[in-house]
Amino acid sequence: MDQLMDLLRDGLPDEALLTDPDVTAAYRNDMASFCDAGVPAVVVLPRSVEQVQHVMRTATALRVPVVPQGARTGLSGGANASEGCIVLSLVKMDRILEINPVDRTAVVEPGVVNAALSRAVAEHGLYYPPDPSSWEQCTIGGNIGTASGGLCCVKYGVTAEYVLGLEVVLADGRLLSTGRRTAKGVAGYDLTRLFVGSEGSLGIVVRAVLALKPTPPPQLALAAEFPSTAAACEAVCRIMADGHVPSLLELMDRTTLRAVNAMAGMGLPETTETLLLAAFDTPDPSSELAAVGKICEEAGATEVVPADDTAESELLLQARRLALTALERVGTATMIDDVCVPRSRLAEMLEGTAAIGDRYGLTVGVCAHAGDGNTHPVVCFDSADPDESRRARESFDAIMALGLELGGTITGEHGVGVLKKEWLAREIGPVGLELQRGIKNTFDPLGLLNPGKLF
């Protein structure tokens, strides 16, 4: 420890080093349940690329593991500390370095908060689409690490589609530049995409070039109430099959609606089985909403309520953003799944999830990016009850198994981390696992970067 601290101090100011156990304990884990976390030896908060390089050179010299962190809003344990590691918190590297309206790009440091970037580029008539529910807290570096998505992905896509280039500090302290600033570019292997979603296991992202879009018109939304999950999912399939391109297509079940009402008193309909939210940001959203409303009625909706204006639309979207937080209050703990299936099999996924909740005697609320087939079943349980905790873990695994059976994936946007690494092996198979481990060994031969994550 003394040698580690001496070497770190050679290239870092005292205020960048945290060693008080009461302080460093706050950096042990992210927001996931059932994920082991160690005690860090030190927490480092760098403010420059050179300081990050110094940390990695020190870690390599002493063979000390390094766990990169952002805002720790993750839900898979991907930012959890390893025992005796250096926690490298990048939240102080929070500058927006450039916004270019001509090239429609932004250059940012990893600690920039998603919502802060969105507001900054909006002043230039631009739009950064990826918008996780935690967008007011989560950082761009964390979004890149987990390849996160958000409510608008059905139309605009996920983080990976907006990362043009990166600067990455490698395990040995070298600085690697990947990608480009141009609108097109296919030179060499796409290392940029390789780092997006790598959960800090291949290098430390210290700068990102992000693609932007022109600000779309304000979106208008509607809420459709359905007597069953199957009817709501039928509407989703018809909406997509008819060629509509909503800017948002979200689903909340009755358990979720009640939880949001209990937390925020939003007056959402608690008698309906499933609520579907659809929004459009086209020049004429009213006509799109009318067409989608008709589809919902034909699929069995008992009531379709279009928003009167953008303020009412934003209220509906806020209700959806609060869903995961509200479900966390149902029990003393939650396990939040992140299974994505083909849209055509969404009803099977949701009905199967409900059956799993019944089988294990647990409350399972579901919200979903229905337009993507990306479901978020939330298992609510009493963490003080060993039997209930066991059933929660088993039900969580059963939900992931169901997703794979339906041709889906174990994670659409939350990442693998600690929570799902056994399931990653099942999804990609032995050959895929061997190749991924080989890539990890090429970039991090000493195994120092975020050890114990992914596989």
* CATH code of the domain occupying 2-89: 3.30.43.10
CATH match of 217-323 with 3.30.70.2190: yes
Helices 229-241/285-299 angle, 10° precision = 130
DSSP 217: P
Contacts within 8 Å (CB) and 24+ apart, 257-260: 259/323, 259/326, 259/327, 259/329, 259/330, 259/365, 260/319, 260/322, 260/323, 260/326
SS3 311: helix
**Residue 150 confidence (pLDDT):** 87
Task: Mark the ranges of the chain whose per-residue pLDDT is less than 70.
Answer: none
Strands 42-44 and 86-89: parallel
Domain ranges of the chain: 2-89, 96-214, 217-323, 330-417
Instruction: Write out 134-163 in H/E/C secondary structure.
Output: CCCCCEHHHHHHHCCCCCCHHHHCCHHHHE
In tens, the pLDDT along 420-448 reads: 999 999 999 999 999 999 999 999 999 99
Domain 330-417 classification at class level: alpha beta
- Nearest partner of 422 among 447, 387, 448, 393, judged by Cα: 393
Contacts of 385 (CB under 8 A, 6+ apart): none
* CATH code of the domain occupying 96-214: 3.30.465.10
The answer to whether the beta carbons of residues 141 and 90 sit under 8 Å apart is yes
**Residue 33 confidence (pLDDT):** 81
Rounded-to-integer distance, Cα 318 and Cα 117, Å: 19
SS3 204: strand
> In CATH terms, are 217-323 and 330-417 the same topology?
yes
**Residue 332 confidence (pLDDT):** 85
